[in-house]
Amino acid sequence: MRKFECIDDNMLIGGVRAIDLAEEYGTPVYVTDEDAVRENYRAIYGAFSRRMPTRINYACKANANLAILRILEQEGSCIDAVSIGEVEACLRAGFSPERILYTGVNVSNHELAQLVNRNITINIDSLSQLERLAEITSGARISFRMNPEVGAGHHEKVVTGARSTKFGVPRDRIMDAYERAIELDFQPIGLHVHIGAGVQVVEPFAKATDVLVSVAQELESKLGLQLEFIDIGGGIGIPYRPDDSPMDLELLAEEVTSRIKNGTSASKVVLEPGRYIIADTTVLLTTVVDLKETPDRWFAGVDAGFNTLVRPAFYGSYHHVAVANKFGRPGEVTYDVVGPICESGDHLAKDRLLPRLEEGDLLAVYDAGAYGSTMSSQYNMRPKCREVLVRRGSSNLIRERETIDDLLRHDRIPSRLML
């Protein structure tokens, strides 16, 4: 969990007081520190690239704001995209097609054709997808996503590598997939797995790499196929709680790369961090608008709900909360932090010991950069909020707040209903 500076009881984000950001841009608002994004990218790239040639495919489903994508393009990152919309956003942010690897699931023929037209390398998820792609194009460089039957993650809904999940070519069919790809005149260049999200220990990644190495050896011995890359996917977690330990990047990099170098002829390791790069760079600022004492507890009502940050309601996820204008003061009262959505599950945090709150206080919800804005919605007809980028004392708006007109722009009332 990232530490923030404090001056006169005020939280600073990227050298800017949180209360000044709230006053200028309103709340709720997502605030991202540009230097933190660059620092995180360099840390993970450095750990792996010191050991073997490395390609970082940023998992842009975590946060696809164009400014964030542009920062990572400048850093030399590549992209893991899962929709044609993400592909288009990355192209507009300056990524060339060869720096994008598309890994979709249950992909339509229409989307496959759009990817082919944009010269995007496709990570094939099923034998059906392979056959349907062959009706659109041939000779393309492709990879395969395999289900390694190794699953892990912070919640059952984000485990993707277990045998029972919908993702990837089954382990016992992967040789058939490569053989068929060669028959169809494709060029298989890689092998990919993704075990899940928010994994905080090295062991599941090591197990998945062992599976990858075993399959790569089989491909070489039986088909004479030498892969260009082995892709271990993403899913590296971060410490959301103050007492959580961070992933040991050096150990992870050593365990993964040593297996690939010693067991395969692949020249490159690929990994797809999203959360690790972006989660702790961003704070959600939200204003206390209502305080309510009930026989059971105190509620701190704020202007951000699960329409703004859905992870606590969806996954039961923990996000640290601080009072940005009373930063560092000791806790006095235990609150549930709740939003304006008409649902009992609209909690951002439960049972948090905070300084005594007043209406107008500013709360900071930590580690909101991954799956915050990208999973936000307009439920209860509430427009999506602004996003701001800070760097060394200055700030820039990187996403405008939606308006009610934006919400209604695409609705149509048939003329017969107007009579």
Q: From CA 257, how far away is CA 213, in angstroms rounded?
A: 11
Amino acid at 343: E
Q: From CA 187, how far away is CA 181, in angstroms rounded?
A: 7
342 included as an active-site residue: yes
Amino acid at 3: K
Q: From CA 340, how far away is CA 156, in angstroms rounded?
A: 28
Q: From CA 293, how far away is CA 346, in angstroms rounded?
A: 17
Go through the chain and tell me how many residues it has: 419
Residue 238: partners with Cβ closer than 8 Å, 6 or more residues away: 1, 198, 246, 247, 275, 276, 279, 280, 367
Q: Which is the catalytic residue, given 60, 90, 342, 385?
A: 342
Token reading at 306: 């699960």
Residue 219: partners with Cβ closer than 8 Å, 6 or more residues away: 175, 178, 191, 225, 227
- Contact 335/356 with Cβ under 8 angstroms? no
| Residue with the two structure tokens 């800017």 | 16
- Contact 216/174 with Cβ under 8 angstroms? no
> Which residues carry out catalysis?
342
